Structure 1
């Protein structure tokens, strides 16, 4: 560019650089305010934010929530007798104390709390005089040998073996339903939202630690959504440590890149300011940090560093021909503000597309990420060059930049061969082959949902997964429950016309692979009818006499609602793997299609497995939709920016290849597409598009100057290319440390983000110039000043 052209300032440039003190003062005030707001942000999540509220399964569950006891958000504590069995005075006393301790923990739905000590847990038997029954632990219990023997007999008659009492009699459970919000003890008119991290800590301190220390013969196992989320939040607090490691690595590598401590500190400081603004704004709009949005601050840091490196690289290049730091900063701002702004807009639009997923945590992540990239406009595109205009670049960095500007670079010359007429077709063929192979592999092996038992977000050897494994091995009813709600008219659930199909549904599900067992009011009805006929097994069936049926279900407490219009069927699954849920749901839907009538509906689904199944359906539907929306938005922005269909394809095709290969990598690593992983696919595109926009915009300016494609690409690599290469490597080195996290999903995301950062960078450097050989006509650009928004 001519000196005359270089010195033509835009209105925005004059507004910013003619008022530099005002810019710095405003940024300082905003940083102080949002920094204070950021200190108020806390880990926060809720049960309803983690589920797709508009899905029919979830709407059915929420509509009948009051009729479903202990089938929503629950925690299950198993108290194990390490030596001997549960029928000892010491064990029963510990179980009573655990029951009482849990009763007073805030957030517990005390009316639904159940253990052997609960009056609602009863036994029933048939005698010569009819039915007899009572509380499993009678009022006369005193811990003596006689009362313990009576307790053993009561447990055997209670029907709780395999459910509340382990099959080997070495443990029993306390079932704890939770409230999403509960009255403030100090102000009954105010509701307090359940804090999952605090609740998890109270379970650890007041139950596990306290009673295992008090009684060495007892071991506590705790499972449930709230406990899993609490453990996740605890583990993800370590994100701060990994963020610190990434920051240290970035500082070292950035200094090695720039040879200037002033610009290094400026880039890192302005990027940290962006993170502070993002956290402060999230708190200001009422968001907290959940296990998934904790990823967002690092993404903002990564994107900020990417833009910051481009800025100091540009200022260093301009300093060799500028009179002072202010002139170099202004010229760099003029040259890079528009491509940086376009890249940030594309990032934001890409993140906003995540709003189409009807899951609260993903929507908050989308809003948080969009806010974050928005503030980068002010911190890294405006504040950074203004700050550098005051402090300047070190002489050592300027001299190095001057030397780089005139000497030949063998490495960049080698990479420029990617644009060579012979190499470019080979690159395109390799990329096409990799894309086809990756697409075939992901179609064959990528699954929606969890692929492991327990909590796949945690390590297999984590305490939560060990506790879950204990429950699966020792109880007939696992913690994975799919609930089918059989809806009838009032008093309709007790009729033979309703009970017979329920019986058939249970038989169908018990003969479906992956199902452990099933229970409903039919289970109780058959037992009672058998008992009324002297326990004869021939009578363990449904009667057609309505009076007999009415009498038989009267003891099926909790298995139908007050007006007998809803009867849940509890289907206990071996696990909540994607295939298990898909198979079970398909079996229920096929059965419902055949047996439903106007008076009888089989509604899916409640229970944690029902929620997982609904979430999987939403994720499966959204996965392709999200990618299509992201790429449409990126494509439109690139078309508006470059006004060239070929330029748009040069930028977007490497990103599509990264997405395909990223999905194939997930399939190969055994990672399913779920709430934790789906956002990374879209976020990876957002980070990667920056590379392509910076490289293409710079290369286009050289093509307009009349340089051949390969030479234009060589000059691009000498200026912008090294910043892209450095950014990709620097951020990948920082994020790869996540593989050491105690949280498995964070380790998985570390691998995925490392791959996407590196491959997006490599795709921009390798595939973009090869595609340009076929899609761009350099001779048509030469000498032209119109067309692209970057042209002057």
Structure 2
């Protein structure tokens, strides 16, 4: 009788033949399937524990963006302007012109020279021969290395060193404005001679142990500050170590909550076990496919675990209800599978598609995250809808769990009865009005939402992190900041020093230097002006570009490396910024693009952009274009899946509208918390939709079933809450509590993701419980639904 009742309730969702077939395949071959799971888990688990942290400069940037294409096309000519670290060696007492400090700087320079991954030909320090001074005397030009071969640390030599530094033009660049620190500039290779990518984790660790710790201990009067992309990523990877602690807290917390919910040992341990199996499968397959875990995708296993738990709760809930009716474990498992197969599959496919929309974004690290998340959800489909019910079919719900279901009593029924008034004709309009007010408030507050970073330094790390403190030191003490945008000036061969080219560059520099957020600029123009002035007795009246091409040729003959390429077809114009905030980058890019549009000719073109700020500007543009397109796609796909399953546009709206409200409120929250839309936070927007739809699908599936049985709308919702309301509320709370621990991560973007996902998981659950029935009151036509179902049956 019970079987026929369930079949009758589900006939409108799936044809009678397909479901029993799948059910028979799974439950008639339980032992074989379990052995297969055991073998696969052992193999994939072995691979999972060997997966390694991974990060690459090129995987973090939009390789197809025109700015990045320009940068990569000219990579060889910009060798010293790409991936680098800057090591500032500070003297705490006195200045750098003392023998002990210079000995420390020499030893640190030598140590950096031999670090694996350093481009030694581009290394710059006061101790390297490529840092020189030049002056014009009565006898002509004189110059040499800043630290001469005769240097012996004597007071006389130290005074000569001071004079050389002042004549070198390196004050503000390699030497601090207050003479209390000097920088070692180390450009890096992306790959070694064997083609292996630079390990940022290892390189960062060597910087800490072989440079910072070693020499701060050896020279107590010295403090070392390190900035650069490789160091930032290394610190992010180091922060991944804290994830293990969060994982343990999440598992313990989830286990405790599951037992409180089910009062059943099996109903607690089996969902946790299958969710952990899904994580091991995911990590193992990622390693076999050649992926590692970068700082962004390292949180995906948390999401896979959370999704596995959320769907596992539905199975436990359904099995407990069937066991309370007196069914044995196998029958209870089959009936639970029969009830949840379609909504579970629909929800998980929606999750997967929500993740896979991230593939549209032309940044490899986000695409890697999409692959990892999509793969994880595909695995959860297998572990939750096959492994979980099979294990439970052997163990069953314990007597304590069955007793807990039977003892829910009138108190629980009264709670569900009160909540069922969300579907009441008098309450529903109030709910809709509140939702409209919330939508209006969300649209108003989300106007301040920005694309890109909103903080100085590395916004991925907390402002009091060692890296950001080091970055603040460099910004405060040097005129050339760590945030550099490089404009590439392209000309025909042998034309990069033509008067017209240098004049156009000079005009652009003047425009840029008048922007508030630009600290300074540097180019071949400055070299030509300095030498022209020097040739004219140092008079500032001659600090100009000479219209005489012969003089220009002479003044640029000894231009420093990096300011001119070998065939004189490219010269960079470097723009040093106070920060890489989104509004700063937008302002600089707008000025350069406008100038290029007005001044580009056949003889010269101004191309954006290299440098870390140029990469950030390109990334911001890609994310800005992709955000709305990604949301449109994910909502469209979820809508199509709901239409196929429920065969009703009204039902689809009931599920999607609460999701849309959550998306708007989530963006408003980001704007008010000062969280920009960037590589780290963009995936959260898709995740909120992909995972959030699960609640509405489970609620509506039960809701529709009771409506088709002829119940009134409010009564049908009451029965829905009785059967699945607790599971949905518990799932939302568990998911939210699982990610809220991220708020304490040393990595700020993980904390930001934790805040946003916490809000979205909770609010999507609230929307499904509160707003969906109110929408159903206005949108659904129960009598037509029943007639349509009967017509399909006939």
Partner SS, residue 710 of structure 2: coil
Matched, 1:119 2:129: yes
Shift of the alpha carbon at 1:209? 0.1
Task: Give the structure 2 partner of residue 764 of structure 1.
Answer: 768
CA distance in 1, matches of 2:521, 2:426: 66
Shift of the alpha carbon at 1:112? 0.9
Matched, 1:350 2:360: no
Matched, 1:666 2:674: no
Shift of the alpha carbon at 1:555? 2.0
CA distance in 2, matches of 1:427, 1:66: 62
Task: Give the structure 2 partner of residue 186 of structure 1.
Answer: none
Matched, 1:595 2:605: no
Q: Is the 8 A contact 2:416 2:721 kept in 1?
A: yes
Q: Is the 8 A contact 1:705 1:783 kept in 2?
A: no
CA distance in 1, matches of 2:572, 2:438: 49
The one-character-per-residue Cα deviations of 1:342-400 (angstroms, maximum 9, x if unpaired) are: 11111111111100000011000000000000001111111101000001111121122
Task: Give the structure 2 partner of residue 745 of structure 1.
Answer: 749
Unaligned runs of 5+ in 2: 8-15
Matched, 1:319 2:323: yes
CA distance in 2, matches of 1:346, 1:408: 31
CA distance in 2, matches of 1:249, 1:67: 54
Task: Give the structure 1 partner of residue 416 of structure 2.
Answer: 412
The one-character-per-residue Cα deviations of 1:44-93 (angstroms, maximum 9, x if unpaired) are: 01000000000000000000011113211111100001111111111111
CA distance in 1, matches of 2:249, 2:788: 47
Q: Is the 8 A contact 1:44 1:195 kept in 2?
A: yes
Match of 1:477 among 480, 490, 512: 480
Match of 2:214 among 183, 206, 210: 210
Partner SS, residue 181 of structure 1: coil
The one-character-per-residue Cα deviations of 1:172-211 (angstroms, maximum 9, x if unpaired) are: 001111111102xxxxxx3221111111000000000000
Task: Give the structure 2 partner of residue 462 of structure 1.
Answer: 465
CA distance in 2, matches of 1:48, 1:322: 60
Aligned residues, how many? 783
TM-score, normalising length: structure 2: 0.97
Task: Give the structure 2 partner of residue 555 of structure 1.
Answer: 558
Unaligned runs of 5+ in 1: 184-189
Shift of the alpha carbon at 1:478? 0.5
Shift of the alpha carbon at 1:440? 2.1
CA distance in 1, matches of 2:155, 2:420: 87
Match of 1:247 among 230, 244, 251: 251
Partner SS, residue 571 of structure 1: strand
CA distance in 1, matches of 2:732, 2:686: 17
Match of 1:641 among 642, 645, 657: 645
CA distance in 1, matches of 2:643, 2:409: 32
Alignment of 1:185-334 (within 5 A): 190-334=194-338
CA distance in 2, matches of 1:127, 1:313: 90
The one-character-per-residue Cα deviations of 1:629-684 (angstroms, maximum 9, x if unpaired) are: 11011111111111100111111111111010000000000001100000011011
Match of 1:132 among 142, 145, 161: 142
Partner SS, residue 49 of structure 2: helix
CA distance in 2, matches of 1:745, 1:73: 22
Matched, 1:450 2:450: no
Q: Is the 8 A contact 1:521 1:560 kept in 2?
A: yes
Distance 1:372 1:290, change over 3 A: same
Task: Give the structure 1 partner of residue 711 of structure 2.
Answer: 707
Shift of the alpha carbon at 1:328? 0.4
TM-score, normalising length: structure 1: 0.97
Q: Is the 8 A contact 1:271 1:301 kept in 2?
A: yes
Distance 1:237 1:499, change over 3 A: same
Q: Is the 8 A contact 2:3 2:335 kept in 1?
A: no
Q: Is the 8 A contact 2:262 2:404 kept in 1?
A: no
CA distance in 2, matches of 1:396, 1:407: 19
CA distance in 2, matches of 1:236, 1:573: 30
Shift of the alpha carbon at 1:534? 1.1
Matched, 1:519 2:529: no
Task: Give the structure 1 partner of residue 114 of structure 2.
Answer: 104
Task: Give the structure 2 partner of residue 386 of structure 1.
Answer: 390
Q: Is the 8 A contact 2:306 2:738 kept in 1?
A: no
The one-character-per-residue Cα deviations of 1:257-287 (angstroms, maximum 9, x if unpaired) are: 0000112000100011011111111111111
Shift of the alpha carbon at 1:322? 4.2
Matched, 1:156 2:160: no
Task: Give the structure 1 partner of residue 697 of structure 2.
Answer: 693
Distance 1:78 1:407, change over 3 A: closer
Matched, 1:15 2:25: yes
The one-character-per-residue Cα deviations of 1:561-607 (angstroms, maximum 9, x if unpaired) are: 11111110011111111100000000111111111111210000001
Task: Give the structure 1 partner of residue 92 of structure 2.
Answer: 82
CA distance in 2, matches of 1:461, 1:350: 35
CA distance in 2, matches of 1:411, 1:127: 93
Match of 2:151 among 133, 141, 144: 141
Task: Give the structure 1 partner of residue 778 of structure 2.
Answer: 774
Matched, 1:50 2:60: yes
Q: Is the 8 A contact 1:427 1:767 kept in 2?
A: yes
Partner SS, residue 195 of structure 2: strand
Q: Is the 8 A contact 1:738 1:747 kept in 2?
A: yes
Task: Give the structure 1 partner of residue 76 of structure 2.
Answer: 66
Matched, 1:504 2:514: no
The one-character-per-residue Cα deviations of 1:444-501 (angstroms, maximum 9, x if unpaired) are: x100011110011111111101000000000011001111001000111111111101
* C-alpha RMSD of matched pairs (Å): 1.4
CA distance in 1, matches of 2:205, 2:189: 17
CA distance in 2, matches of 1:407, 1:174: 71
CA distance in 2, matches of 1:642, 1:586: 49
CA distance in 2, matches of 1:407, 1:455: 52
Shift of the alpha carbon at 1:408? 6.0
Partner SS, residue 97 of structure 2: coil
Distance 1:604 1:294, change over 3 A: same
Alignment of 1:592-631 (within 5 A): 592-631=596-635
Distance 1:786 1:196, change over 3 A: farther
CA distance in 1, matches of 2:787, 2:405: 27
CA distance in 1, matches of 2:367, 2:412: 49
Partner SS, residue 683 of structure 1: helix
Partner SS, residue 335 of structure 2: helix
Q: Is the 8 A contact 1:706 1:783 kept in 2?
A: no
Matched, 1:531 2:541: no
Task: Give the structure 2 partner of residue 187 of structure 1.
Answer: none
Matched, 1:495 2:498: yes
Match of 2:729 among 717, 725, 729: 725
Shift of the alpha carbon at 1:435? 1.1
Distance 1:708 1:5, change over 3 A: closer
